[in-house]
Structure 1
């Protein structure tokens, strides 16, 4: 069991590493850079984080959790689970695409198969928080989720690699409609459920910017 001092040091290194990744991207943030900024030996960084991917997946996992927290804190729940999922996804993806630095980080993440596969699993767990038990992502719906969300990440990667803007609201709407239809909801019904479900653009951006400010300081779960 780690001693409190060890946990404090690990958290300090994590916060510095996450800030560097949000500023410089995943690929450009090296162990040596983290060690220098944290004033510790490189070996100590690698001791706490044997894989650099652990740092960025932890960051994105807490971004997902924080988007849920914002939905609850500010009373932004939708008319049903899918509408609420739409709104939480809007906050999360707006965070990822809000400026050039975070778009670089997101591009790095989506280009790395190990990280994007882990992110797909995290998204699945996250989606289950909003869906009723009979709609949980499992069995055939798990395959549908992987196909739809994986394809969405590929599309986002394509736009980012070309330096193009990602239409967050349109992308999430198409993703959810595709998932809903693959799991038995009629296309017209799926569109009706999500009609007008998106958050105000300014409110979404405000929350995404708030997330950027507080995310590195948010304790690991």
Structure 2
């Protein structure tokens, strides 16, 4: 790895650690510089937009969540409802956990970052569903924006007012829209998901695994 690559990795690692410790809003360039050991000018050279660091970190959160779902046997990839419901539950549970709660609130309060997060969710959902026609693609986009966007807004409200996150409820709201394509247009019903709802103990263990992975991950 080049010296430049090593410096960037250390800067990204410092930013991620800061996000976990104090959130997004309080992660300043000076704080990243102090944690990484590099001058602030070098930090800003390698990371000119703090928003980009937040988006990269959220991508790491999602990657860690997907790995934990597989590792802990929470959902099967060959069962779209099971896998994506487990993924959504763990995603919301992780973002609402104590180490990520401050960061999550900051991001949900930032329209610029949230817009990019929603676009990433749209692309991720399109990759999973793989619609065959333009009309199907637009339906997936619209359903994702409505379902995921609404869930984020409710998530923000719950965090802001110190209410229970209720990951299963948020996950159901997301899937009710985003899985319509696989369900051939029929409504998602409670029975589709009840059997796949994760109990608190399994969810807590998986969240701990996600946070542990984030503490040790510094990839772009």
Judged with a 3 Å threshold, the aligned counterparts in structure 2 of structure 1 residues 74 and 109 are, in CA distance, closer, same or farther, namely: same
Alignment partner of 1:46 is 2:52: no
Uncovered stretches (5+) of structure 1, i.e. residues with no partner: none
Greater displacement, 195-204 / 88-97: 195-204
Deviations 1:3-31 (A, max 9, x none): 62211111111111111111111001100
- Counterpart residue number, 1:139: 138
Uncovered stretches (5+) of structure 2, i.e. residues with no partner: none
Shift of 1:112: 0.6
Judged with a 3 Å threshold, the aligned counterparts in structure 2 of structure 1 residues 140 and 52 are, in CA distance, closer, same or farther, namely: same
Judged with a 3 Å threshold, the aligned counterparts in structure 2 of structure 1 residues 127 and 25 are, in CA distance, closer, same or farther, namely: same
1:1-221 matched pairs, under 5 angstroms: 4-78=2-76, 80-99=79-98, 101-128=99-126, 130-131=128-129, 138-181=137-180, 184-187=184-187, 189-221=188-220
Structure 1 CA distance for aligned equivalents of residues 218 and 20 of structure 2 = 17
Shift of 1:181: 5.0
Shift of 1:66: 1.8
Q: Is the 8 A contact 2:29 2:44 kept in 1?
A: yes
Deviations 1:75-118 (A, max 9, x none): 3334720221010111111111111x421110100011111111
Shift of 1:70: 2.1
Judged with a 3 Å threshold, the aligned counterparts in structure 2 of structure 1 residues 164 and 107 are, in CA distance, closer, same or farther, namely: same
TM-score of the two chains, using structure 2 as the length reference: 0.87
Judged with a 3 Å threshold, the aligned counterparts in structure 2 of structure 1 residues 77 and 132 are, in CA distance, closer, same or farther, namely: farther
Structure 1 CA distance for aligned equivalents of residues 55 and 143 of structure 2 = 23
Q: Is the 8 A contact 1:96 1:102 kept in 2?
A: yes
Greater displacement, 103-112 / 127-136: 127-136
Deviations 1:151-206 (A, max 9, x none): 1111111112222221111121132124445885322x543322211223212211
How many pairs align?
217
Greater displacement, 122-131 / 80-89: 122-131
